[in-house]
Amino acid sequence: MKNIAVILSGCGVYDGSEIQEAVITLLAIAQQGATYRCFAPNIAQHHVINHLTGEVSEEESRNVLVEAARIGRGDVEDLIELNEKEFDAIIFVGGFGAAKNLSSFALDNDNYSVNEQVLTAAKAFAKVEKPAGFMCIAPALLPLIYPAGVKGTIGKDNATAKLISAKGLTHIDCDVTDVVVDEAHKIVTTPAYMLAESISEAAVGINKLVKYVLAFSK
């Protein structure tokens, strides 16, 4: 049975993992006959957003690993413990946490960087040519993990795509219900909530992403 490492970045679309994307991903993996384990870096969130008002909660701080445990029903592991030898593939869930906690994309635009723990984990999978899936804004990580020219999508947001392309991504516009596949690097990307207007729309692309990632896992 194939085993997938799922990388989370907190809990909540505005400051962590997009919860619906995360749950759809875990469900798709299970329904398609594989298993998963969830991981997140044990670091402080960039900030905390009140998801009711959209405002920054100035006096509050939260931990990415602790928050991610809400999604994993307590079953989430520290990213530094991730061993690529135990898995067939890796999938990065979207949400602003991918652009605020896993990387600085939301803060530094085209001058962004990726968290060292995240970079180490992702490159370990890339080095041994294991498949990877990235959804929503998570494909922003791609050009800092893989060689220049790597293919991926964040949907059809030209301004955002241009910033990521400046780092080396070959961006391909993509509908919410579809995926972009980089055969050479065994990478699958889908827009998810970069374009989705409903959970059902997001689910179509995410289910395809999981299907392709599992197919790449020999």
Strands (E), the chain: 3-7, 35-40, 76-78, 89-92, 132-135, 151-152, 170-171, 180-182, 187-190
**φ, ψ for residue 62, nearest 5 deg:** -140, 160
- Count of beta carbons in the 10 Å neighbourhood of residue 112: 19
In this structure, what is the dihedral angle of CA atoms 120, 121, 126, 127, given to the nearest 10 degrees? 60
Distance CA 214, CA 33 (A): 9
The reply to whether 136 belongs to the active site is yes
Instruction: State CA 208 to chain mean position distance.
Output: 15
Beta bridge partners of 40: 78
- Count of beta carbons in the 10 Å neighbourhood of residue 118: 24
- Token code pair at residue 119: 């970079």
Catalytic-role residue among 11, 38, 136, 174: 136
Question: Tokens 């070959």 correspond to what residue?
Answer: 170
Which residues are catalytically annotated? 136
